[in-house]
A and B are shown apart, each in its own frame.
Chain A
Amino acid sequence: MSVIIRGLSRRFGSAQALQDIELSVRAGEFVALLGPSGSGKTTLLRILAGLDFADGGTVQIGGVPMEGVPARRRGIGFVFQNYALFRHMTVFENVAFGLRVRPRASRPPEAEIAARVRRLLERMGIPELERRLPEQISGGQRQRVALARALAIEPPLLLLDEPFGALDAAVRHGLRRWLRELHNEMSLTSLFVTHDQEEAMALADRVAVLQAGRIAQIDTPEMVLERPANAFVAGFLGQAARLPAMLRDGAVDFAPLPLPPLPREALVSAPDRDGPVQAFIRAHEWRAEPAAPGQANAVLRSARPSGGMLQADIALGELTVEALLPAGPLRAGSPCLLRPLTARLFPA
């Protein structure tokens, strides 16, 4: 079910939580809302669910304007960060809740409710938990129950607020792949909020990067990573060193840092006009060769092997640069000649 958001704004007192949000999600898409805490991503999700209200702008879900439609009539699945399970109900009753509260005319008979709940628990891989209470099961299991409960009303649109935020890394990894499969199988449209870029990259068809209440960029994971739209996105994604530099005469000059200049042709992206810039260089975009002390511009502080590469901390003047180097003769303490292969430049 498609979602179209136009010019959406929301203020909390003097704080502008959302400003002029424009976002279109196609039916069947899996979109991640990625941003640091306080960037407005949860607020956006809550407005879509009808749990919060915009000051301006419009939301259409499945072509229907949502203005004045209360949360309970939207039929949207919402999974809360802390699961928000009903503590006094068993897992079974939690999942059955959305069916039991339907008006008598559209409420399925008891046998069908039971069959549907069992089928969902089966699908979530937790059929044996039916009689347990939320506090008697683990975090990962609670997350599955919360998801089953949201899916029981057969929502065409699923909203997830930091669904794996409270789980440990191993459980999170497993659930991630499982959620993606579920999305495809049940032909859902899903929007999920996260501050974990790795999670966003691994799960989403498209990633919307939020910055202080605005969407800074929305694109495929590859594109936001390779072609960040602005300095914020470049700095937020993919661990990059941020260096001040000057773009002039078709090259980047890193002075006063002792780095060799980079020609314009080597750059991934750069502003059209010359002037002061911020250069973003990722860990794998560095090279370092052993050099005699007189020719060296840096010192290798420490290095440890990482998947056939060398994860190195390199002292460049006052700075420490994290670099992912091909395995070589460099050892901790050796002077070396450090140079960037490429960079992404944004006007300073």
Chain B
Amino acid sequence: MMAACSTAFTSRAADAMAAPPSAALRTRPGSLASRRGPLPGFGLSLGVALFWLSALVLIPLGALLLRPWELGVSGLWRSLSEPRVLAALRLSFLGALTASAVTLPFGLLLAWVLVRDRFPGRRLLDAMVDLPFALPTAVAGLALTALYAPNGWLGAPLAALGVKVAYTPLGVILAMAFVGLPFIVRTVEPVLRDLPREAEEAAATLGASRPQILWRVVLPALAPALLAGFAMASARAIGEYGSVIFIAGNMPMVSEIAPLVIVTRLEQFDYAGAAAVGLAMLALSFLLLLALNLATRFWRPV
């Protein structure tokens, strides 16, 4: 009762204080400006945010949306339904999803070790996680290629076992996993750090075994973060260019990724065709991220 009264009082006081400046702004009832929160400067910050979003994201994306239609609907369809384009799109998207799915458990394990264990060199390991962020992607690509080429340190023994990594879709997935790892580690880590140990101890006193605690208590609490990390890693891998093209070998229909198709078309002055592939990637990425976002919401019950 007391609390209710005092909240009501504070909000009325806030209304009174906010009234003079906003009266001038308020042109129509129900417009954005009339829906005031307790924090000042909402209108201004919204304006600045929208401006930046437009300048950096919406306008370039708008241009991308418009450009391919120069080809006409049927031209666009023809441009995209080339088998080589379809194969490249399939490799980019399925490769990215596979790479992120494979990285997910390892990223979780790495985050777990960084948060829960104390061992010499932990800080060094912690710093190394971010290296794929910082390294020029071309450098990473060259290093991976040298390592996994049929005569490389790892490529040679693998080749002896009959596993070919470089210049195959497997190589593409490897490079994608490399760039995606920090996204997963860094999204899971803070959530894991905030996870109260007591919940796990409570589960233990209630008779749960270690795997049961992991499955029923820890993983559900981490699920939203894992999904978010998966989404970011996938998004990064879909658009990844530099680190993939060296190891991919870029054989049409086999190991050619969609971004490379775009570059190839640009080099042939087929700007509309390049934009068409870009548009397809944009649409597919949007659908993927939307689906993952909805899944995250499903996992986070409130």
Q: Which residue of B lies closest to A136 (CB)?
A: B302
Q: Which of A96-149 contact B (CB under 8 A)?
A: 97-98, 100-102, 133, 135-136, 149
Q: Which of A75-98 contact B (CB under 8 A)?
A: 75-78, 80, 82, 84-89, 97-98
A84 near B204 with CB under 8 A, answer no
B207 near A87 with CB under 8 A, answer no
A98 near B198 with CB under 8 A, answer no
A82 near B301 with CB under 8 A, answer no
Q: Which residue of B lies closest to A98 (CB)?
A: B206
In angstroms, how far is the closest chain A Cβ from the Cβ of B206? 4
- Report if B115 contacts A (CB, 8 A): no
Stretch at the interface among B20-28, B145-153, B216-224: B216-224
Instruction: Give A55-80 as 1s and 0s: 1 = Cβ < 8 Å from B's Cβ atoms.
Output: 00000000000000011111111101
B206 near A82 with CB under 8 A, answer no
A71 near B201 with CB under 8 A, answer yes
Residues of B within 8 A of A86 (CB): 199, 202-203, 217, 221
Contact of B208 among A84, A97, A133, A135 (CB under 8 A): A97
A75 near B207 with CB under 8 A, answer yes
- Report if A4 contacts B (CB, 8 A): no
The B contact surface, by secondary structure, is helix
The A contact surface, by secondary structure, is loop
Q: Considering the chains assembled together, what is the distance between the CA atoms of A87 and B300 in angstroms?
A: 10
In angstroms, how far is the closest chain B Cβ from the Cβ of A325? 34
- Report if B205 contacts A (CB, 8 A): yes
Interface residues on B, range: 20 to 34
B221 near A49 with CB under 8 A, answer no
Q: Considering the chains assembled together, what is the distance between the CA atoms of A141 and B301 in angstroms?
A: 20
Residues of B within 8 A of A296 (CB): none
A101 near B208 with CB under 8 A, answer yes
Q: Which of B56-100 contact A (CB under 8 A)?
A: none
A84 near B196 with CB under 8 A, answer yes
- Report if A51 contacts B (CB, 8 A): yes
- Report if B212 contacts A (CB, 8 A): yes
B209 near A101 with CB under 8 A, answer yes
Residues of A within 8 A of B196 (CB): 82, 84
Contact of A78 among B199, B202, B301 (CB under 8 A): B202
Q: Which residue of B lies closest to A80 (CB)?
A: B198
Residues of B within 8 A of A85 (CB): 199, 202
Residues of B within 8 A of A179 (CB): none
In angstroms, how far is the closest chain A Cβ from the Cβ of B19? 34
Q: Which residue of A lies closest to B205 (CB)?
A: A78
Residues of B within 8 A of A149 (CB): 202, 206
Q: Which of B167-209 contact A (CB under 8 A)?
A: 196, 198-199, 201-209
A-B contact pairs, 25 of them (CB 8 A): A50-B205, A70-B204, A71-B205, A72-B204, A72-B207, A72-B208, A73-B207, A75-B207, A78-B205, A80-B201, A84-B196, A84-B199, A85-B199, A86-B217, A86-B221, A87-B221, A98-B206, A98-B207, A101-B212, A102-B207, A133-B302, A149-B206, A150-B206, A152-B206, A153-B206
Task: Give A residues with C-beta under 8 Å from B.
Answer: 49-51, 70-78, 80, 82, 84-89, 97-98, 100-102, 133, 135-136, 149-150, 152-153
Q: A80-B202, A88-B223, A101-B208 are in contact. List 9 more A-B contacts (CB 8 A).
A: A71-B201, A78-B202, A84-B202, A86-B217, A87-B221, A97-B208, A97-B216, A133-B302, A153-B207
The 7 tightest CB contacts between A and B, nearest first, are: A84-B198, A98-B206, A101-B208, A78-B205, A84-B202, A71-B204, A88-B220
